[in-house]
Amino acid sequence: MAEHDNNRTVPNALPTGYRFNEFEIKEVIGGGGFGIVYRAWDHQLERTIAIKEFMPSSLAVRSDDLNLVLRSERFSKTFHAGLNSFIQEARLLARFNHPNLLHVLRFWVQNDTAYMGTIFYSGTTLSRLAAQRPELVNETWIRRLLPPLFGAINTIHQKGYLHRDISLDNIQIQENMMPVLLDFGSARQTIGNLSDETETMLRPGFAPIEQYSDNNESEQGPWTDIYALGAVLHTLIVGAPPPVSVVRSIEDNYQPLAEQRPTGFSLPLLHAIDKALSLKPEDRPQSIDAFAALMELSVSDLNDILNVNIEGPGTMLMPVEPEAPAPVAASPLKRYMWPGLAAAGVLVGIAVGAMIAGNGNSEGNSDAAAITATAPPHSVEAPAVVSASGQTAANSAPQPAVQPEAPPPEPIAQVYIKLRLGDDVALNGNQQALVPSPNGFASLQLPPGEYTFTVTNQGSSREQKITIDRAGVWLINPQS
């Protein structure tokens, strides 16, 4: 999110200095046909966050009082269905806890629209990076990029959901070169379905044939996202996306990469991309694991990245050596039908996720149907963020003055620790109640300092020490 636009180039953006209670907008960092993204400052926790606003420019404009106003009443149904999908997407993302998947801190309704506050990710989009530094794109670099992306996508699939909008613009490459998978395609797809503009709402070349169908029984599944991911890799390698799938359904003029043989890329990688871009869903890999196996990415890659610099002071999420790709999830995923995230009224529970770089608690506080503003601008009742500040020691009159205790430093590091079944964790000798997520990682936030993780299981123990001296995401795997 380092490529910044400004309010002059993004119509309908909120002004710099606008406040959502403790959140103050500092600048516009992106905008498109469906939303605007801002860089904001959290005055309570003293950190930078990103705020995304639901703003479909084809349906609404911003009035003088900063509320959204429909361009026409006939857009009401479409706008509110898209708004509901946006809220459901925020709720869904808040449930996931994966270092390479966009993490939502909270969401709320205001200005006759909705907002989600997320972690602020450094770097730029994959599309900009590939354009600005084409020399980076080779097979070694791609094989380092894929395992964390596979892990993020597999996390979504294992919960029974689809992303449905994977593209180079929806993959953020951080300054440490690790990818983060961004927005789902839920609101975009919902608006397209209701406005009879599905084709214009999809990304040409990245959307498989089943996404163009107006038949609700059309079968979509992990293979739908795999097609889009194949299109991303195709674009990186040859500089252009594959032909539009609708056109291919009439006359398939796709030229397999395995036949083109672009210089510097192996046949297993090219063949896997060709299979992912098969026109018929049943001809594609049916799971991320199957896709990884085709390009000969082994499950052992997970252990390779976890063990990088394991003997050093700690492992930041940094680029790994060519022989040590990043993790790929290995759980099998059965074939099933899923209509996507666009269905209105999907009931998704809100879960507290780990928050990178010292986050507070994540909690949703708005009903999907509540879409009217409840407070004027600059005086918004947004959900409060709880700070982990300490208390000041009290002074007694006859006693010598006692200096008040300084509040403990705010957490700055998000630590992900790989655990096994039955592991107990102690941090600097203090027992921790850590519960790993389905991907095997537990998480916690820590301030600067030196830490020793001791993991015990059935009488045996393993240990790892780290030194936290800067904000970021840390990935550790204590060894026996």
**Residue 333 burial (10 A CB sphere; 0-12, 13-18, 19+):** middle
CA distance 10 to 6: 6
Q: Angle, to 10 degrees, between the axis of helix 76-95 and the axis of helix 186-194?
A: 160
pLDDT tens, 230-285? 999 999 999 999 999 999 999 899 999 999 999 999 999 999 999 999 999 999 99
Q: Would you place residue 71 in the very low, low, confident or very high pLDDT band (cuts 50, 70, 90)?
A: very high
Residues of the chain with CATH 2.60.40.1120: 413-476
| Homologous superfamily in CATH for domain 19-306 | Transferase(Phosphotransferase) domain 1 (1.10.510.10)
Looking only at the bridges linking them, the beta strands covering 68-70 and 60-62 are antiparallel
Helix (H) or strand (E) holding 50: strand 47-54
What sections of 239-375 are H helices per DSSP? 245-250, 257-260, 267-276, 288-294, 301-306
What sections of 3-120 are H helices per DSSP? 76-95
pLDDT at 369 over 70: no
Closest CA to 463 of 413, 425, 406: 425
Task: List the strands of the sheet with 171-173, edge to edge.
Answer: 124-125, 171-173, 179-181
Binding residues are 52
CB proximity list for 257: less than 8 A, separation 6 or greater: 234, 237, 238, 265, 270, 271, 273, 274
| Homologous superfamily in CATH for domain 413-476 | Carboxypeptidase-like, regulatory domain (2.60.40.1120)
**Residue 251 burial (10 A CB sphere; 0-12, 13-18, 19+):** exposed
In whole numbers, what is the pLDDT of the chain averaged over residues? Answer: 74
CB proximity list for 263: less than 8 A, separation 6 or greater: none
The pLDDT assigned to 206 comes to 94
- Cα of 428 vs its chain's centroid, Å: 31
pLDDT tens, 88-111? 888 888 888 888 999 899 999 999
pLDDT tens, 290-339? 999 999 885 445 444 433 333 333 333 333 333 344 333 333 333 333 33
- C-alpha triplet 54, 60, 65: angle, nearest 5°: 85
* Among 148-157, 160-169, 405-414, the least confident range: 405-414
For 376-395, what is the mean pLDDT? 35
Q: Would you place residue 286 in the very low, low, confident or very high pLDDT band (cuts 50, 70, 90)?
A: very high
Q: Would you place residue 188 in the very low, low, confident or very high pLDDT band (cuts 50, 70, 90)?
A: very low
pTM: 0.61
Q: In this prediction, what percent of the chain has a pLDDT beyond 70? A: 67
Binding residues for ATP are 52
Residues of the chain with CATH 1.10.510.10: 19-306
